[in-house]
């Protein structure tokens, strides 16, 4: 019979070996992504040496960012962290709160269609997450750990004078929304997530499906210091434009395509000095937080998914069902992209209204 001490030592050695293998995978894939990015840079220099480092001057925000029909620009300073957060609010104070969390590379403006739509019955708040837009951006990546991002939402909710809300998140904002719902269930009356599965589904799926690992390659690329930010600035932020407009990743023919002014809004925000580092820092802590624990969600949940998502495989959507221990509604839109609330705003808004009214009716019965 093996001695307890020997068994413990063997277990520790196995855990150490797994950790070594995990980080070897992370940094190995990071190096591969960096090499591919460097190769693209060299090819771009060969084709257009003069245009690669060209950038247009963007000193003033485009008019769409100041459109009063979207709401009022507001700021709130969190007492514990000392950070000042920017948000745009529509709808009367005192109405139930609907809090909107954007993804990457987005900011409050990605919710413009929802700000107009839901202000009739809600106080709708579209937040700039930590490091984004006009919200403060701590310089060190350690300030972007998931527990900090989760606490931000709790503190903002309290600072706005609310103790609960309808919480809506897209992409990375969806990840944060899931975790807030898990950690502070008493604060979330209803959860609505767009194109992001339950975090446990994501971490399990990506380790078993190389196709999703490849689609999430930017997670690994973003582990590098400064180089990802540099790549985004090339050719006047061509990567950023292509994310929303290209055939591979952008909004499709049947979607509500971004206007020239919409694109300029994104370029204006992310072309400001240091504006890319905060958003990318969100990803620079993700591997130190894995694997996430298997936590269940206990409030009614709506998951909306664009089937043409270039970054998230649709199979994860259905798998999310097992982690929701309440009413769960899943709707997959076959012609929609990753940018769902901007791609199909009318359909998305209708589905959200149906979910909100359905749950209200159910509570009254």
> Which residues participate in catalysis according to the annotation?
171, 283, 338
Residue 120, judged by CB atoms within 10 A of its CB (0-12, 13-18, 19+), counts as exposed
In contact, 130 and 94? CB cutoff 8 Å: no
In contact, 129 and 152? CB cutoff 8 Å: yes
CA dihedral 138, 142, 144, 147 (to 10 degrees): -130
According to DSSP, residue 55 is labeled -
Beta bridge partners of 297: 324
According to DSSP, residue 76 is labeled E
Segment (H or E) for 38: helix 4-47
Instruction: Provide Rg for the chain, Cα atoms.
Output: 21
Rounded distance between C-alpha atoms, residue 55 and residue 326, angstroms: 50
Q: Alpha carbon of 156 to those of 48, 64, 65, 181, 279: distances in Å?
A: 46, 25, 22, 15, 19
Q: At what angle do helices 227-245 and 260-270 cross, to 10 degrees?
A: 170
Phi, psi (degrees; rounded to nearest 5) at 257: -65, 150
For the chain, how long is the longest CA-to-CA vector?
A: 76
Please name the residues in contact with 86: beta carbons below 8 A apart, sequence gap of 6 or more.
73, 74, 75, 108, 127, 128, 133, 134, 135
Indicate the SS3 state at residue 39. Answer: helix
């Amino acid at each position: 019979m093996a001695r307890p001490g020997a068994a413990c030592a063997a277990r520790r050695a196995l855990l150490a070996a797994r950790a070594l293998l995990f980080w070897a995978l992370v940094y190995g894939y990071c190096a591969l992504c960096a090499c591919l990015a460097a190769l693209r840079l060299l090819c771009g220099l060969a084709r257009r040496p003069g245009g690669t480092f060209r950038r247009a001057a963007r000193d003033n925000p485009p008019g769409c960012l100041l459109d009063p029909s979207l709401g009022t620009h507001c700021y709130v300073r969190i007492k514990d962290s000392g950070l000042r957060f920017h948000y745009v609010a529509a709808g009367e104070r005192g109405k139930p709160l609907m809090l909107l969390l954007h993804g990457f590379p987005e900011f409050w403006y990605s919710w413009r269609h929802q700000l107009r739509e839901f202000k009739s019955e809600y106080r709708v708040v579209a937040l700039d997450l930590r490091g984004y837009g006009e919200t403060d951006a701590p310089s060190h990546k350690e300030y972007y750990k998931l527990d900090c991002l989760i606490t931000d939402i709790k503190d903002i909710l309290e600072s706005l004078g609310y103790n609960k809300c309808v919480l809506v998140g897209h992409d990375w904002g969806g990840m944060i929304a899931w975790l807030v719902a898990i950690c502070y269930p008493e604060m979330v009356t209803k959860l609505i997530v767009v194109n992001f599965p339950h975090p446990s589904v994501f971490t399990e799926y990506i380790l078993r499906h190389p196709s999703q690992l490849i689609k999430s390659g930017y997670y690994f690329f973003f582990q590098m210091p400064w180089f990802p930010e540099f790549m985004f600035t090339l050719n006047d932020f061509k990567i950023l434009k292509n994310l929303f407009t290209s055939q591979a990743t952008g909004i499709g023919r049947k979607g509500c395509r971004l206007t020239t002014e919409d694109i300029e809004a994104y370029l204006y925000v992310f072309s400001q000095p240091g504006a890319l580092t905060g958003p990318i820092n969100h990803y620079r802590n993700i591997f130190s937080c894995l694997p996430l624990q298997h936590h269940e969600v206990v409030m009614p949940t709506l998951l909306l998914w664009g089937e043409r998502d270039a970054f998230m495989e649709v199979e994860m959507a259905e798998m999310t069902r097992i982690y929701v221990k309440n009413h769960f509604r899943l709707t997959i839109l076959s012609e929609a992209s990753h940018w769902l609330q901007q791609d199909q705003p009318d359909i998305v808004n209708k589905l959200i209204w149906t979910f909100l009214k359905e749950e209200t009716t159910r509570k009254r019965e």
